[in-house]
Amino acid sequence: MSSSVASSSLKTASSLHLAPGFEPDRKADQEIERLCISMEQWEERALKSCLPAQGSDKFILITGAAGFIGTHVALALKRRGDGVVGLDNFNDYYDPSLKAARRALLEKEGVFVIDGDLNDARLLETLFGIIPFTHVMHLAAQAGVRYALENPHSYVHSNISGLITLLQVCVKANPQPALIWASSSSVYGLNTKVPFSESDRTDSPASLYAATKKAGEEFMHTYNHIYGLSITGLRFFTVYGPWGRPDMAYFSFTRDILSNKQITVFKGPDNTDLARDFTYIDDVVQGCVASLDTAQPSTGSGGKKRGPAQLRTFNLGNTTPVTVSCLVSTLENLLGKEANKKYIQMPQNGDVPFTHADVSLAKAELGYSPTTDLHSGLKRFVSWYLNYYKKET
Ligand SMILES: NC(=O)c1ccc[n+]([C@@H]2O[C@H](COP(=O)([O-])OP(=O)(O)OC[C@H]3O[C@@H](n4cnc5c(N)ncnc54)[C@H](O)[C@@H]3O)[C@@H](O)[C@H]2O)c1
Ligand SMILES: O=C(O)[C@H]1O[C@H](OP(=O)(O)OP(=O)(O)OC[C@H]2O[C@@H](n3ccc(=O)[nH]c3=O)[C@H](O)[C@@H]2O)[C@H](O)[C@@H](O)[C@H]1O
């Protein structure tokens, strides 16, 4: 793998298929140039460090690499010797300096991260022209349930249009990579049967975010059917941990408790507690790596399907839902500080009352076995948080 990658000729993408409404900017040109320079000076430049180590036959593109889950997955794969290249557009949905810090961590460990958008087909084609990726771990997305009320188009941009652009590049790539991608527990929407199982219906999304993830699952079915792309969809359940997302409740509650700001805790109908199957990042990484290791190659080439290809969907949750009130009291306990809490009826904001994963399929097929309870996981998060923000707290 290493030598074939190193000797692969530089190829600039000939076609320019951009997603409608997507304007490439100077930044994309600069990123292509940086990529090409790194290739031309292969021996000295950063890209060399991304090659698979001896004994690994995997070369993986991780989209959303500067994101929370992407960073952890990239580090795990790189540390065991796989070739890893990241892509991220470093958008400002939350503090970009946190994404920059994750990138620095990745680059220190030899993961080359490209600053680019999923909708930039020219950049993606150039990248696939240079590197024969065996797998794509697609984690880039507009995440967050409630932000869709504010900026619905960002979900269409990344989760619909960006996804199709990536899929189009994957089907044309030679070899066609196997794709592992992040769906979401939110596809279960307003379902009341618990625990949520992969065979349950997923046709009552409560948010635009959920609807775009559900649409993504349907697109994946189509691309698997027409082009023979090998596809594994992972439904993550409220993932938390060090290097996490500032927009999520466990993170913003920690920040606000420490700075004596009031936190708002949503309540369900009849004052019931909302609950989530909070899942620790290391458990999710284990599921992602196992999905990658059990993914079969795509069967297509040159945009043509040669035979049926693998299509799988797994829940990656914890199987132990915990109430949001319990999340708050655990944080109070770990931070040694009482929160200033305001309880309100859950607004019509896309939230669902509870989530609860049945992970028996992931256990049987991936050996997935979550081991971290909320208290232990939050302890590690709080320790990371206090250290990372120590100048400010
Ligand atoms: N964290 C969770 O609890 C959770 C739960 C279910 C599903 N997911 C899904 O898992 C994936 C990773 O989530 P995360 O928590 O790490 O979120 P994140 O926001 O930290 O990471 C996503 C990354 O993708 C990048 N990105 C977004 N749009 C892009 C685009 N058009 N082009 C290039 N990069 C783009 C962002 O800059 C970000 O760094 C997402 O697909 C998310 O929807 C997350
Ligand atoms: O598994 C998923 O598929 C999703 O997981 C995550 O969504 P959620 O489960 O909604 O996590 P998160 O925002 O931390 O809210 C947690 C709880 O706190 C409650 N909550 C929230 C904010 C607040 O101010 N008050 C409050 O009570 C809130 O009502 C909820 O009950 C990801 O963000 C999302 O990208 C998606 O992929």
Q: What percent of the chain has pLDDT over 70?
A: 90
CB 72 within 8 A of CB 283: no
Atom of ligand 1 nearest to the CA of 236: 6
- Mean pLDDT in residue range 350-371: 97
The pLDDT score that the predictor gives to residue 1 is 39
Distance 221 CA to ligand 1 centre (A): 21
CB 378 within 8 A of CB 330: yes
Distance 244 CA to ligand 1 centre (A): 11
Look at 115-129, 165-179, 221-235 and tell me which has the smallest mean pLDDT.
115-129
Distance 48 CA to ligand 1 centre (A): 26
Positive or negative torsion for Cα 263, 269, 271, 274: negative
Decide whether any atom of ligand 1 lies within 6 Å of the 238 Cβ: yes
Does the structure show a pLDDT above 80 at 295? yes
- Mean pLDDT in residue range 123-148: 94
The pLDDT score that the predictor gives to residue 4 is 41
User: Quick one: which of 37, 121, 113 has its CA closest to 75?
Assistant: 113
Residue whose entry in the numeric block shows the structure tokens 């219906």: 201
Does the structure show a pLDDT above 90 at 175? yes
- Mean pLDDT in residue range 198-215: 97
What's the token pair of residue 60? 């993986």
Atom of ligand 1 nearest to the CA of 91: 37
Mean per-residue pLDDT of the chain:
91
Give catalytic residue positions.
209
Amino acid at residue number 223: Y
The pLDDT score that the predictor gives to residue 31 is 76
The pLDDT score that the predictor gives to residue 46 is 60
Q: Report phi then psi at 138, rounded to 5.
A: -95, 100
Tell me how far CA of residue 98 lies from CA of 93, 145, 361, 390, in angstroms.
11, 20, 34, 14
Amino acid at residue number 229: L
pLDDT in tens, 261-285: 999 999 998 899 999 999 999 999 9
- Domains in the chain, please, with CATH? 2-239+279-319+355-370 (3.40.50.720)
Which H helix or E strand runs over 315? strand 311-316
Which H helix or E strand runs over 254? helix 249-258
Atom of ligand 1 nearest to the CA of 213: 43
Does the structure show a pLDDT above 90 at 3? no
CB 64 within 8 A of CB 33: no
> Which residue's CA is the nearest one to ligand 2's atom 13?
248
Atom of ligand 1 nearest to the CA of 117: 32
The 10 Å Cβ neighbour count of residue 99 is 26
User: 135 - beta bridge partners?
Assistant: 60, 178
Selected residue with higher pLDDT from 194 and 393: 194
The pLDDT score that the predictor gives to residue 49 is 77
Does the structure show a pLDDT above 70 at 344? yes
pLDDT in tens, 26-65: 677 777 777 766 555 544 456 677 888 989 999 999 999 9
> Which residue's CA is the nearest one to ligand 2's atom 22?
249
Selected residue with higher pLDDT from 302 and 382: 382
The pLDDT score that the predictor gives to residue 302 is 79
The pLDDT score that the predictor gives to residue 206 is 96
- Mean pLDDT in residue range 101-126: 93
Q: Which ligand is nearest to the CA of 71?
A: 1
User: Quick one: which of 197, 30, 251 has its CA closest to 123?
Assistant: 30
Q: With H, G, I as helix, E, B as strand and everything else as coil, classify residue 38.
A: helix
Best probe residue, ligand 2, of 252, 266, 349 (max atoms within 8 Å of C-beta):
266
The 10 Å Cβ neighbour count of residue 25 is 10
Decide whether any atom of ligand 1 lies within 6 Å of the 233 Cβ: no
Please give the Cα distance from 208 to 90 (Å, whole number): 22
Decide whether any atom of ligand 2 lies within 6 Å of the 312 Cβ: no
Decide whether any atom of ligand 1 lies within 6 Å of the 69 Cβ: yes
Please give the Cα distance from 163 to 141 (Å, whole number): 9
Question: Residue 336: left if φ>0, alpha if ψ -120 to 50, beta else—which one?
Answer: left
Decide whether any atom of ligand 2 lies within 6 Å of the 143 Cβ: yes
User: Quick one: which of 274, 266, 280, 142 has its CA closest to 215?
Assistant: 142
Look at 8-22, 122-136, 147-161, 245-259 and tell me which has the smallest mean pLDDT.
8-22
